């Protein structure tokens, strides 16, 4: 059994116009009827029923149209975040209170300048005009902003289709022949299986010898290495000069393995190794603040 329509139920027809468009659609017609001397209360009652308003409201709209030709609602102006406000937010690290204080100082020096909004109005404008990522970036930097970015996932691939490589500074001190050194880790990860194929630890800053040693471990599958590894289809790196030196590219080129240099500041393009580094960093930061000294 079909449900009765609203007008069949005695409730009148449902409004079909949005709140902001019904008035703009009806007023020109009512004004034209009034100018022709044909406007009646029945016309006003019909418009009120169609728009879901009272007859008194429609008569008030008509009076405003007679007085100042206002056929639609005038939207109230609101304070918006300008380029200067953005500059001040960047200067003060996203602190709206400090930005508001500086605007008040400027207004005190220049009474004829722009009107300063209240602090609550400034907060509302920042929440409305700036995204969560922009607000996080102003407060905590570019890394915080990128945490709010959305990136699509790559389609699944087979083992050894793509490797990603990177360096990581290890937050420990090592006694190396009487001198303290902080080692570096160079590693490669298989993007399909998330398996670390090769790791090399050096007591000095990353260099091509660490990359070559790590690649040898990753490529070799015989004992004592393997069983994972082999030859990848390609290797993605983030503009590291040690990975892009002629020795490394020639060694991989001999096996027809291209080393792809990604643009700067695009960690999402090598998200597998970045996720590994992030997890490793979190594990390291959870250790005791007093880092023990490792001695061979």
Q: What is the pLDDT of residues 90-130, one digit of tens each?
A: 999 999 999 999 999 998 988 887 888 899 999 999 999 99
Task: Indicate the domain borders of the chain.
Answer: 22-68, 83-146, 163-294
Mean pLDDT in residue range 225-244: 88
Q: What is the pLDDT of residues 173-199, one digit of tens each?
A: 888 888 888 889 999 999 999 999 999
pLDDT, residue 198, reads: 92
Q: How many residues does the chain have?
A: 296
Residues 205/184, Cβ–Cβ less than 8 Å = yes
Distance, CA of 92 to CA of 6 (rounded, Å): 56
Using alpha carbons, select from 156, 164, 132 the residue that is nearest to residue 145: 132
Supply the DSSP symbol for 38: -
pLDDT at residue 38 tops 60: yes
Distance, CA of 40 to CA of 47 (rounded, Å): 11
Reported as half-sphere exposure (CB side, CA atoms, 13 A), residue 120 has a value of 0
Which one is predicted more confidently, 144 or 146?
144
Mean pLDDT in residue range 65-78: 74
The CATH number of 163-294, from 3.30.420.10, 3.10.20.30, 1.10.3720.10, 3.40.50.2300, is 3.30.420.10
Q: What is the pLDDT of residues 257-294, one digit of tens each?
A: 999 988 877 777 788 888 887 777 666 555 544 443 33
Helices marked H in the chain: 22-35, 41-51, 55-68, 83-91, 96-109, 119-129, 132-140, 142-146, 208-219, 241-244, 246-253, 271-285
């Amino acid at each position: 059994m079909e449900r009765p329509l609203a007008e069949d139920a005695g409730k009148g027809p449902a409004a079909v116009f949005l709140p902001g468009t019904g008035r703009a659609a009806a007023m020109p017609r009512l004004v034209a009827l009034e100018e022709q001397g044909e406007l009646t209360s029945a016309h006003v009652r019909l418009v009120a029923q169609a728009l879901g308003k009272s007859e008194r409201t429609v008569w008030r709209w008509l009076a405003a149209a007679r007085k100042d030709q206002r056929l639609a609602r005038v939207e109230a102006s609101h304070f918006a975040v300008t380029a200067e406000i953005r500059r001040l937010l960047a200067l003060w690290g996203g602190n709206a209170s400090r930005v508001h204080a500086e605007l008040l100082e400027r207004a005190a020096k220049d009474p004829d300048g722009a009107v300063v909004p209240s602090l609550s109005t400034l907060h509302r404008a920042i929440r409305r005009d700036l995204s969560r990522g922009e607000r996080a970036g102003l407060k905590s930097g570019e890394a915080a902003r990128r945490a709010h970015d959305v990136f699509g996932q790559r389609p699944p691939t087979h083992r050894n289709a793509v490797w990603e490589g990177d360096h990581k500074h290890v937050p420990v001190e090592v006694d190396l022949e009487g001198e303290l050194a902080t080692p570096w880790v160079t590693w490669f990860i298989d993007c399909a299986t998330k398996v670390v194929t090769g790791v090399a630890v050096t007591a000095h800053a990353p260099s091509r010898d660490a990359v070559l040693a790590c690649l040898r471990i990753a490529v070799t599958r015989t004992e004592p290495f393997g069983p994972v590894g082999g030859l990848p289809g390609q290797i993605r790196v983030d503009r590291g000069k040690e990975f892009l030196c002629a020795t490394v590219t020639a060694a991989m080129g001999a096996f027809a393995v291209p080393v792809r240099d990604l643009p700067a500041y695009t960690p999402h393009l090598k998200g597998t190794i970045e996720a590994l580094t992030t997890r490793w960093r979190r594990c390291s930061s959870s250790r005791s603040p007093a880092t023990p000294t490792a001695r061979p």
